[in-house]
Amino acid sequence: MADPASHPGTVALVGAGPGDPGLITVRGRDWLTRADVVVYDHLVNPRLLKLAPGGCEFIYAGKKEGVATLPQDAINALLIDKAREGKTVVRLKGGDPFIFGRGGEEATELKSAGVPFIVVPGVTSPIGVSAYAGIPLTHRDFSSTVSIITGSNEKGNEDLHLDWEKIASRSGTLVFLMGARKLRRIAEKLMEHGKAPNTPIAVIQWGTTPVQKTWQGTLESIVGIAERETILPPALTIIGEVVSLKPHMDWFEGLPLFGKTVVVTRPEHQAEGFIEQLLERGAEPFLFPVIDMVEPDDAGPLDNAIKNLAVYDGVIFTSVNGVTWFMKRLAAHNLDIRELKDKRIYCIGPRTEQAVRDLGVRVDTVPEEYVAESLVESLGRENLKGKCFLLPRAQVAREMLPEKLAELGARVDVAPAYKTVLPEADTAELRRRLDAGTLDVVTFTSSSTVKHFMELAGDGAKEALSRTTVACIGPVTAKTAQNLGLKVAVMAEEYTVDGLIRALEAHFAKP
């Protein structure tokens, strides 16, 4: 908690960008990482809130479908009060704070109250959304001017706030924000004041996000399209000849996984890389962690192995988790990686290998295929008679590896380093979307993720998944899914997250 006496508090008016969390500025991200309080709007991507430190207070002040959670006066007072408590307050606003974001009003009130503040510009929706829609707002052959207009400041037909005649006479690009519900009025007024009925128009809903959708038409046809398609906010409207360039510049909506909602079942702390790759390919990640890791029921075998590391010729790591939890246990004994200086190290998979290399330790063997069977084949080329290996792994795992190595004459001490358990999970949204058929893919990266998912999803999950693409990281995981009655549509040829992504791309590229 900040001390008001030594730190008077500051408010940062930060633009969060139009939706894609990657569009926040570096400075905006930096302010979030040191915030005591974040006051955020409806259109702010929830992933940005994860940038804030632990213990940060989050206050929702959004406006949805015309209904405000907090009136503007209350938001102004809230910012002032929190700053006067000596806190660093981030006012996180969709787009840019000063482009129809009421940031000017908030800055004025802060100034009047003597509260220090700074402004961090954001990627405003006209710029971000138009770019993701493949529509340049300016083009030397079509438009050299841009007009940005709010579509929500008319209170009624008799109370006009826009000079339609001047707007309609402009030859450049017109961009209307927050005008989805007044699309008919916008089109009619522009045509009434001389804009050609065949003027191209595009309406982009949820721009820069994986659920972005674009409708194209003309001033004359767009109302019919909007009524037929039920276009709802948030939406941005672009009017002008530049709209005709979209077919030549489309990129976002053509990404290989665009519009696909992909369930990620990995533990949250291990899912970030997977989620980033999905976002880069246009998918909507739906994080539903089904695994948590805790201490094993009995740490005795691993503790005993650590006390007697001198007897082992090698250590076998089958996962990144095995590396992580083994290192934790070493540290608990006031030991470190130097204890492995004379051991041969064997790893399954490139991620596990990298986790060991990141510790500054050389890896001696990584099998060609990232499964235990391939490691047995690799080790089988060595003379294993009389050799002793330590295998720190999950408490519950396949016994194939130690059994096969024993057949080759080796002694393998299996030492549980961690246990996988069911996390606390709110399954309501998952079940709602499964039943509604709005989840396109469910990914499984281990047998445990399959078993835990089915347990958490509950009755009817198998039937719901029959309407969803089930994707598995490798044959062992796929076999577990099939044994539970699931139809596996996608299996990675390379048993990694990268391989799983490539397999999904290939699957959805099929005609």
Q: What is the pLDDT of residues 237-282, one digit of tens each?
A: 999 999 999 999 999 999 999 999 999 999 988 899 999 999 999 9
In a shared domain, residues 220 and 365: no
Q: What is the pLDDT of residue 69?
A: 80
Q: Using the 8-state DSSP alphabet, how is residue 510 labeled?
A: -
Active site (annotated) includes residue 459: no
**What is 206-252 written as a DSSP string?**
STTSTT-EEEEEETTTHHHHHHHHT--SSEEEEESGGGGGHHHH--G
Return the closest-CA partner of residue 117 out of 158, 140, 89: 89
pLDDT classification of 398: cutoffs 50, 70, 90: confident
Q: Are 319 and 348 in contact (CB under 8 A)?
A: yes
Q: What is the DSSP letter of 502?
A: H
Q: What's the pLDDT band for 487 if we cut at 50, 70, 90?
A: very high
Report d(CA 360, CA 346) in Å as an integer.
15
Q: Are residues 286 and 433 in the same domain?
A: yes
Whether 5 is in a domain gets the answer no
427 in the same domain as 287: yes
For residue 239, the cross-strand partners are 174, 201
Q: Among 30, 63, 213, 313, which one carries the catalytic annotation? A: 63
Choose the final residue of a domain: 225, 254, 283: 254
| Residue 1 belongs to some domain of the structure | no
Question: In the structure, what pLDDT confidence band is assigned to residue 1 with cuts at 50, 70 and 90?
Answer: very low
- Structural domains counted in the chain: 4
**Distance between CA 261 and CA 407 in Å, rounded?**
45
Judgement on whether residues 372 and 310 belong to the same structural domain of the protein: yes
Confidence class for position 412, pLDDT limits 50, 70, 90: very high
Q: What is the pLDDT of residue 7?
A: 60
H-type helices in 69-182, by residue range?
72-84, 103-113, 125-132, 164-169
Domain containing 245 equals: 127-254
Residue 434's domain is classified under what CATH number? 3.40.50.10090
Q: How far is CA 460 from the centre of its chain?
A: 27
Residues 415 and 483 in one domain: no
Does 41 participate in catalysis according to the annotation? yes
Residue 4, domain member (yes or no): no
Lowest mean pLDDT among 6-10, 14-18, 140-144, 421-425: 6-10
Residue 120 has pLDDT above 70, yes or no: yes
pLDDT tens for residues 179-205? 888 999 999 999 999 999 999 999 999
Residue with tokens 């397999």: 503
pLDDT at 269: 85
Rounded to 5°, the CA angle 465-469-473 comes to: 105
- The answer to whether position 327 is within a domain reads yes
Integer Cα distance of 38 and 55 in angstroms: 11
DSSP designation for 50: G
Residue 372 has pLDDT above 80, yes or no: no
Instruction: State whether 245 and 135 are in the same domain.
Output: yes
Catalytic pick among 36, 41, 96, 440: 41
337 in the same domain as 195: no
Dihedral angle, C-alpha 463, 466, 467, 472, nearest 10 °: 130
Its pTM stands at 0.83
Tell me, what CATH number does 183's domain have? Answer: 3.30.950.10
